[in-house]
A and B are shown apart, each in its own frame.
Chain A
Amino acid sequence: MPLIYTIILGLVFYLAKPIKWIQRKQARIAEGAMMLFIGVLIAKLAVSSGQSISLIFKMGPALILQELGHLATILVLPIALLLGFKKEAIGMTNSIGREPNVAVVVDKYGFNSAESRGVFAIFIIGTVIGTIFISFLVTFSLSFLPLHPYAFAMASGVGSASMNAAAIGPTLAAFPGLETQIEAFAGFSNLLSFCVGIYIVIFVALPLTEKIYDWLEPKIGREALVPETEDE
């Protein structure tokens, strides 16, 4: 898996102290440059989408409805409560916690709220392990789940360009001959996650997470763990 090797090499080069020429400043440049390279990636996916636009319209219902599938993150809320999280759990489990979601949560609860602490935690951890984890997850799922190839393609549009990229790789490799369709669906679904997904979070996911929290917290909420509050 060349994809995972490159991520790990990049990380190791940064963290390895003897390698002096990739330092914090270079990392900051790499981060800024990433924004630009995301553009190239998105452009390639968009060209595939444009090419297959009639197919995308034909698959419209599946593409739109799978955005609602992202609500499944709320299923993690009880586990977060059992692990001792309080209001942080609302920020943690309402969505995948990427840039647009962080913006929504901070906007609604304020920068210093417990909810924002939760979404920041998911954001940082997602940045560090998300790409590697999702490529393992996808590789594993492709061999064990008998789902439609298009379903795998659509699911890879989780609303994060790097996770999208990491999820497409193994999917393309698993279905040779369907490259254009998979790229089209993956790209379009990621685009939907960015522009439609955010409204699903604002109007459905967050209110629903709050309701379930109010209902579940008195039942299964734990004492807030001391080390946990220290951590955050």
Chain B
Amino acid sequence: MPDLIDGSENVSVHGIFNWILLLIIFSIITVIGNYLGYKHPMTDSLIGMGILSLITLIGVWLERELPFNISSILYISVIGILIAFPGMPTSEFVLYYVSHVELLSIVTVFLAYVGIGMGKSWDEFKALGWRAVVITILVIAATYYGAAIVAHIVLVLTGVPAV
């Protein structure tokens, strides 16, 4: 495979085609997982993945094209929230098809790539001592529990029933 990603530093047509190709591959794998694991009809979830891929493409493209130093994650989030907003003409269509894409099917395929990407940092990882590993584990746990406990206290104080 040629360097699929290296062309994506600036938006050439070349880069965009590669992104689309990657998104199509990703969508197909996800739809198959979605069908096998959750029995969602293939066409519905394929359209759902199409919508999600399109949002992603626009978001990534905006990040490269607009002069602001804003991450594509923010563009994608705003577009996603807007088109699903109750009352928007697009919302019914989007919600119907996107609801046929299980989050877990996306996550599973995504994490396989995370695993391969992780392998790349393996040598640097081995060079760090066990003390740093201990600190990392504690830091992640502290972030998670800190947020969970504060959220829980506020939810209880504001009287949100435990569903």
Contacts and interface: CB of A to CB of B under 8 A. Distances in A.
A220 interface: no
Contact of A129 (B77, B120, B137): B137
Nearest to A128: B125
Interface in B107-126: 107-122, 124-125
A188 B109 CA distance: 22
A124 B124 contact: yes
A174 interface: no
A33 B7 CA distance: 12
A127 B118 contact: yes
Interface residues on B, range: 35 or more
Contacts of B149: 69, 147, 151
Interface residues on A, range: 35 or more
A84 B129 CA distance: 12
A109 B4 CA distance: 35
Contacts of A63: 151
A39 B60 contact: yes
A41 B107 contact: yes
A131 B118 CA distance: 10
B151 A231 contact: no
A30 B117 contact: yes
Contact of B112 (A6, A41, A92, A232): A6
B158 interface: yes
B25 to A, nearest CB: 9
Given A62-B160, A92-B132, A125-B133, A133 B140 contact: yes
Interface in B20-77: 22-23, 26-27, 30, 49, 51-53, 55-57, 59-60, 71-74, 76-77
Interface string A71-107: 1110110011001110001001101110000000000
Contact of B121 (A59, A62, A128): A128
A44 B131 contact: no
Given A47-B84, A83-B135, A154-B148, A73 B155 contact: no
Contacts of B91: 50-51
Given A85-B135, A157-B147, 18 more contacts: A10-B111, A12-B115, A13-B115, A27-B116, A39-B60, A41-B106, A42-B56, A50-B83, A62-B151, A63-B151, A69-B148, A73-B146, A97-B136, A97-B139, A125-B132, A148-B162, A150-B155, A156-B144
Interface of B: 1, 3-6, 8, 19, 22-23, 26-27, 30, 49, 51-53, 55-57, 59-60, 71-74, 76-86, 91, 94-95, 98, 101, 103-104, 106-122, 124-125, 127-129, 131-152, 154-156, 158, 160, 162-163
